[in-house]
Amino acid sequence: MKVAVSVFSDILRDDGTTVRPIRVCDILREHFEVTMIAAKSGRGRRSHAQATFISVPRARQFLQTPIWVLGLLRVMLKNRFDVVLCSNDWFGFSVLHLLSALRKRRVVFEAHGILSVEYRNLGRSKIVVTFAQLLERYVVKHASAVVALSQDIFDFYRNYNHNIELVPVFLDTERYKPDVQKRQELRQNYRVSGKLIGLIGPFNLKFNEYFLTFLYENISRFDSRIKFMIIGNCDYRIENERIVYTGYVEDYIDHLACLDCVLVPSKIPTTGPLNKVLEPMSLGLPVFTTPAGLVGLDYVTPGKDIMVFEEKDLVNKIHDLIFDEEFIAEIGKNSRQVVEVYYSKEVYGKKLRAVFER
């Protein structure tokens, strides 16, 4: 079976949108012939095998969209696929749906969030939110099948399409294991002797921008024994000896593993689960977040697997807990276990493949 995965994002630049389709392709390639169709803006830092790229300018999305759609049309007309997976590609779906009747191919849509709700949470205008409602209804209703990343997404879109499966965010837990020697080397390189808390980007995304605002406004309130590592592309920087900026890193997992915990001070809730929460949990790192950061994590228990507090209480709660080595170790152990049981590649690989084999 020939499968295509379309993602309207630059997979040569890591962010939450690109992580999922790459992982999905890795699983599907074990059983099918898979081609990823992705956007590309400028030169990426790395190449990606078995991918077809559509060049789009670095510009606002409304300028990129027509170019992406036309490029997707061209790729689809030149190739024959049995099934196409739209990885949260709301605009590309219309082309794929129209061509599906001509080429007799199935189009599966993967919803990473509830589009209209996220637009509303971002404070978009009524007109934009209404447009999002019409778009998501059209896409979900006409998809051959829908894959939802959380229970909330599943429940919402089930009203429009009963052929829907819940396949949450998953990780290859074998890859997410700390290297003790590498951890020590990185901490020495960054001159870290006390506690190191990480914030994960990239920080040019609307949902992540506030993480920096929170840290910069509260840096003086944190215990002087605590340093912070800002992982990912970050243009908004301040001079502070307690903050380390890594920029984009190839050895992302090693950088995560050198942390003592991760801070995710989400202000705007997404409607899908956050990779930046599950990835450190897979490494046995405690995560401190707000109720907005917990959205979509249906199998994670606050106080047991993750620490969830209101934003105003985060700094004090981190001080109360981060120096309690026994407690931190217990939270880390629980977080690793919950990922292995509920969010691992082994758990959802078969279920994802079944969507394509129907």
Give residue-wise pLDDT tens across range 39-79: 876 554 444 556 677 766 554 666 788 888 999 999 998 88
- Euclidean distance between CA atoms 25 and 341, whole angstroms: 22
Regions of the chain short of the pLDDT cut 50 = 44-47, 59
In the chain, what percentage of residues exceed pLDDT 90?
61
Average pLDDT of the chain, as a whole number: 89
Say whether 37 sits in a helix, a strand or coil.
strand
| pTM confidence score | 0.84
What is the model's pLDDT at position 101? 77
Identify which of 198, 211, 215 has the alpha carbon closest to the alpha carbon of residue 255: 198
Name every residue whose Cβ is closer than 8 Å to that of residue 88 and which is 6 or more positions away in sequence: 7, 8, 17, 20, 110, 111, 112, 113
Domains, the chain, with CATH or none? 2-170+345-357 (3.40.50.2000), 180-342 (3.40.50.2000)
Are 106 and 145 within 8 A, CB to CB?
Answer: yes
